[in-house]
Amino acid sequence: MIRYYCSGFDINNAFEHGLGDMFKSELNDTKSIVYIPGNPDKIEKAKTKYVPVFTEYFKKVGIEFEQVNLITPELSHEEAEKMIRNASFIMLMGGDPFKQKDMCKDLDIINDLKQFKGVMLGFSAGAMLMSKYIIITPCSEEYPNFHIDKGLNLDNLSIYPHNNTSDEIYPDTLVVGDETYQKQDLIKVANEYGKFYLLQDFQREDGLFDVSIIKCCDGNIEYYTENNGKIWEVSNEVNLTSKSGLLTK
């Protein structure tokens, strides 16, 4: 099985950063892709906006799936299970990882996802759900408290997305949009739940995207970054990983 943990993506072409070439070499077939939305309350937006956009991203790198499926709350367990069982590729989309997990529990497909042997990719909330722990630290009015919950634990690692900084040393306080991350909060979580990774993604002033990805294949972990994208490892400190390979355009 091959799994990708991604913070975010290049809005111009999500898979041009070397990912498309990886997918083409890893997919046994392109019969079916299954999308799992990150916010079950916004299914229509996923259906009408994001799924068509990602379909175009795949086409740009030469991948066209014969069938496109979207997991929705009104499906029966049997319908959702069949989609996953027959999938060539599963994408867990961004949104709210806790709501995403609740939907998967309601459909009783948690074990089906854990047993999936194909190619799986998670963006943002989706990557958090794939993790050992879903981690939220106090960072905004929307997220005022610590909220830690078990994820799918597919590879015995946890990620926290969108920690975007150009600094070479992780700052004590990081402001990203309307969210503020405290390094000590991150370390507190690591001390209690074990080390985890911060992934970075954002568009720079020159229009380029700083992308970072963790890939797991049969227990082996690989780190990929592009431009100034960074992957941070949080344990007793917050340090840049030294194993990152470069993605290519």
Task: Tell me the pLDDT tens digit for each residue of 56-103.
Answer: 999 999 999 999 999 999 999 999 999 999 999 999 999 999 999 999
* Cα–Cα nearest to 207, from 9, 19, 12: 12
Give the pLDDT mean for 7-27.
Answer: 88
What is the spatial distance between Cα 225 and Cα 68, in angstroms, rounded to a whole number? 29
In single-letter form, the type of residue at position 245 comes to: G
What pLDDT sits at residue 98? Answer: 96
What is the spatial distance between Cα 75 and Cα 94, in angstroms, rounded to a whole number? 20
What pLDDT sits at residue 249? Answer: 41
In the numeric block, which tokens belong to residue 77? 């367990």
Q: What is the CATH number of the domain that holds 29?
A: 3.40.50.880
What is the spatial distance between Cα 121 and Cα 129, in angstroms, rounded to a whole number? 11
**Range of the structural domain that residue 42 is part of:** 2-246
Choose between 70 and 228: higher pLDDT.
Answer: 70
Sign of CA dihedral 149, 242, 209, 58: negative
Residue 227 above 90 pLDDT? no
Q: Is 60 helix (H, G, I), strand (E, B) or coil?
A: helix
| Domains: count for the chain | 1
Read off the DSSP letter of residue 42. Answer: G
What are the E-state strand segments in 71-108?
89-95
